[in-house]
Amino acid sequence: MDIVVSGIRPTGNLHLGNYFGALRNFIKMQEENQCFFFIADYHSLTTHPTPADLHGNVKSVLVDYLAAGLDPEKATLYLQSDLPETAELYLFLNMNAYLGELERVTSFKDKARTQPDNINAGLLTYPTLMAADIIIHKAHKVPVGKDQEQHLEMTRTFANRFNRLYKTEYFPEPVAYNFGEQLIKIPGLDGSTKMGKSEGEGNAIFLNDDPSVIRKKVMKAVTDSGPTEPGQPKPQPIENLFNLMKALSKPETLRFFEEAYDQCNIRYGDMKKQLAEDAIAFTEPFREKIESLRSNDEYLRKVALMGKEKAHESAAKTIREVREIIGFKPF
């Protein structure tokens, strides 16, 4: 049985990018693997959230995990900060991670550009913390979206380096996973190639968005005046709409608009109306469950506690063994 580990940073409710890139796969994988899914709340400290925001965002992700069908009886569902063993492994891995390679990571370079006043050490060592999350359970597979590919490669580098340094084969090589298919990237509504919370208002559709909000966001999506001759390649914002439709709508709906595009008689207003209705129908079941789970604090507390205990069992074993391998031995 494979060991599967993955996490999501708590920045608020989850959006369709998180769902299709990660959460949907978590739900499929929990049936046949030993799964550890967590909320990456240590990681979110790199942006200095207020205590109230941090707590609220963690709750939103926990609720969304459950609303989407993560079963706390099948998978281990926990908060990263409930597993301090992760922080200890992070420390060990940092001793063996080099400034040059950390500075070259794309996500670090992006963050350094977008938050020049807060280029902290946590940002630089983000990939070592992520590697610790994964190898603390000796994972084989990591369901993530395309944007996490480079981080996974770093994880393999750190795991292999540890094995080499201590002449052991202790850590397996974890791979990014999407059921034998390419990792995916869900585009945003603002013409950018990635749906994401930090990409700006209106770019993302959240699992708990009201129908009126979804309609407004989709109708505002960037388009152009349409193709003028058959076979013309699609500009990025148009390609994005088609990709969203591919994820959300029925194949015949997609085909209808593809043909209209090819014949140069596409009406983007109609396409967006259809896409909005399909997004509303898709998110409907989540919205209802999110609503009822949010007010059930007792259940959420129980789930978090159960996850913490199960995760600790696995992590404590790894840390015990890693300490021995490194040479921290009891007298």
- Choose which of 9, 24, 141, 156 interacts with ligand TYM (CB under 6 A): 9
| Contact yes or no for 152/176 (Cβ under 8 A) | yes
170: tokens are 């202790």
| Rounded CA separation 11/198 (Å) | 9
Assess whether 141 carries a catalytic annotation.
Answer: no
Assess whether 194 carries a catalytic annotation.
Answer: yes
* Site pattern 172..201 for ligand TYM (x: CB under 6 A): ------------xxx-------xxx-----
Does residue 137 touch ligand TYM according to CB under 6 A? no
Does residue 74 touch ligand TYM according to CB under 6 A? no
Q: Which is nearer to ligand TYM, 188 or 227 (CB)?
A: 188
* Site pattern 260..299 for ligand TYM (x: CB under 6 A): ----------------------------------------
Assess whether 111 carries a catalytic annotation.
Answer: yes
Q: Coil, strand or helix: which one is 75? A: coil
What backbone phi and psi angles, to 5 degrees, belong to 13?
Answer: -65, 160
Q: Which is nearer to ligand TYM, 90 or 268 (CB)?
A: 90
**CB-neighbour burial class of residue 203 (10 A; exposed 0-12, middle 13-18, buried 19+):** buried
Q: Which amino acid is at 321?
A: E
Q: Which of 26, 22, 23, 21 is nearest to 36 (CA)?
A: 26
Cα four-point dihedral sign 73, 76, 77, 83: positive
Q: Which is nearer to ligand TYM, 39 or 266 (CB)?
A: 39
Does residue 145 touch ligand TYM according to CB under 6 A? yes
Going by C-beta distance under 8 Å and a sequence separation of 6 or more, which residues neighbour residue 273? 219
With b for 16 or more beta-carbon neighbours within 10 A and e for fewer, the 287-315 pattern comes to bebbeebbeeeeebeebbeebbebbbebb
Site for ligand TYM in 34-73 (CB under 6 A): 40, 43
Stretch that binds ligand TYM, among 18-26, 228-236, 266-274, 310-318 (CB under 6 A): 18-26
At its nearest, how many Å lie between ligand TYM and the CB of residue 275?
A: 16
Going by C-beta distance under 8 Å and a sequence separation of 6 or more, which residues neighbour residue 6? 22, 25, 26, 36, 37, 38, 142, 143, 144
| Rounded CA separation 35/29 (Å) | 7
Q: Which is nearer to ligand TYM, 184 or 276 (CB)?
A: 184
- Choose which of 147, 239, 258, 277 interacts with ligand TYM (CB under 6 A): 147
- Choose which of 29, 67, 75, 142 interacts with ligand TYM (CB under 6 A): 142
At its nearest, how many Å lie between ligand TYM and the CB of residue 227?
A: 26
How many amino acids of this chain bind ligand TYM (CB under 6 A)?
27
| Contact yes or no for 182/113 (Cβ under 8 A) | no
Does residue 132 touch ligand TYM according to CB under 6 A? no
Stretch that binds ligand TYM, among 29-37, 88-96, 138-146, 229-237 (CB under 6 A): 138-146
Number of C-beta neighbours around residue 262 at 10 A? 13
Does residue 130 touch ligand TYM according to CB under 6 A? yes
Residues in touch with ligand TYM (CB under 6 A): 5-9, 17-18, 20-22, 40, 43, 130, 133-134, 142, 144-145, 147-148, 151, 184-186, 194-196
Enumerate the active-site residues: 111, 194, 197
